[in-house]
Structure 1
Amino acid sequence: MLMRKIFTHYHNLNKVGLWLSILCTVHCLAMPFLLTSLPYLSKNAISEQSEILLIGVSAGLAIFLLRKDYKNHHNSTPLRLLLVALIFNILGIFFVPHAYEMFFNVTGGLLMASAYGLNWYWHKRACHSTGHQH
């Protein structure tokens, strides 16, 4: 019953996804400062695992929500933006030299947050035009 209610009215999941993307971006920006000020913490123990977890959870939620909303508002821009964000994040974690990792991950996080924000905009427009309440 509870799960049905959550997936029927999932507006709050959009907000959770947006905040996960923002948290990922803040993490990517803050990590160099944390590593500099707390040298006894290993970068590998914190950064790579937490980046993969944050990006993975946020991406999974984004794929679910944006695909579900696409069926209502039929605007593919948030999905395309999400795809670009995921490409940046995957490149940043696995393929680019360490010197460029932060740029790719921060850009990916910002693009993912933008995809959520744009999706929320189109979601609200679709709900408004059909009379659905948030």
Structure 2
Amino acid sequence: MKNFKTINLDKLGITASTVCAVHCAILPFVFTLLPLWGLEFLATPALEISMILLSLFIGVWALSKSYRKIHYNFYPILILALGFGAILLGHFSGIETLEPILIPLGGFTIAGAHFFNLKLTKSCKHIHQ
């Protein structure tokens, strides 16, 4: 069993934000079928907010840790902020046609921020303390 310290937060962040993006992209197409399958809980606002908060927590934790201790590159944090900006705009703009576009785009952008951070972390050759 892996120690908690050895968990790669970027890989966890990529997974969480991708699951969130896929959930938001597919949900409008299967919304009417969820009750038939007993999966209506997947369409609740509480689940969506929980997924967003989990992705935010993991993202801020992983990227700030890498920024401060490894690569000092601000771009992954900027990409993460853009992804959450897209999600917030999609959820709270009131324009329903933007929601199914912006929210999955934001989730994939957040996954991209983690991927970029992972690449920067792996390519850093400096010894940090």
Question: Could you say which TM-score interval applies, normalised by the shorter chain?
Answer: 0.7 to 0.9
The answer (yes or no) to whether the contact 1:89–1:104 under 8 Å persists in 2 is: yes
Relative contact order, higher structure (CA 8 A, sep 6+): 2
Alignment map for 1:14-25 (pairs within 5 Å): 14-25=10-21
Provide the aligned length of Structure 1 versus Structure 2.
124
For structure 1, the residue ranges without an aligned partner over 5 or more in a row are: none
The answer (yes or no) to whether the contact 1:88–1:104 under 8 Å persists in 2 is: yes
User: Could you list the per-position Cα deviations for residues 89-108 of structure 1 after superposition, in whole angstroms to 9, with x for gaps in the alignment?
Assistant: 11112223222111110111
CA distance in 1, matches of 2:51, 2:111: 13
Q: What secondary structure sits across from 2:66 in the alignment?
A: helix
Question: What is the match of residue 60 of structure 2?
Answer: 63
- In the superposition, the TM-score normalised over structure 2's length comes to 0.83
The answer (yes or no) to whether the contact 1:31–1:47 under 8 Å persists in 2 is: no
User: Could you list the per-position Cα deviations for residues 28-85 of structure 1 after superposition, in whole angstroms to 9, with x for gaps in the alignment?
Assistant: 1110122133466797972422221111101111001100001110111100000111
Superposed CA RMSD: 2.4
Bigger fraction of residues in helix: 1
Quick one: structure 1 residues 39 and 100, their matched pair in 2 at CA, closer, same or farther if it must change by over 3 Å?
farther
For structure 2, the residue ranges without an aligned partner over 5 or more in a row are: none
CA distance in 1, matches of 2:96, 2:44: 12
Quick one: structure 1 residues 109 and 45, their matched pair in 2 at CA, closer, same or farther if it must change by over 3 Å?
closer
Identity %: 29
**Displacement, 1:25?**
0.9
Question: What is the match of residue 82 of structure 1?
Answer: 80
Question: What is the match of residue 53 of structure 1?
Answer: 50
> Structure 2 counterpart of 1:70, which letter?
Y
> Structure 1 counterpart of 2:46, which letter?
Q
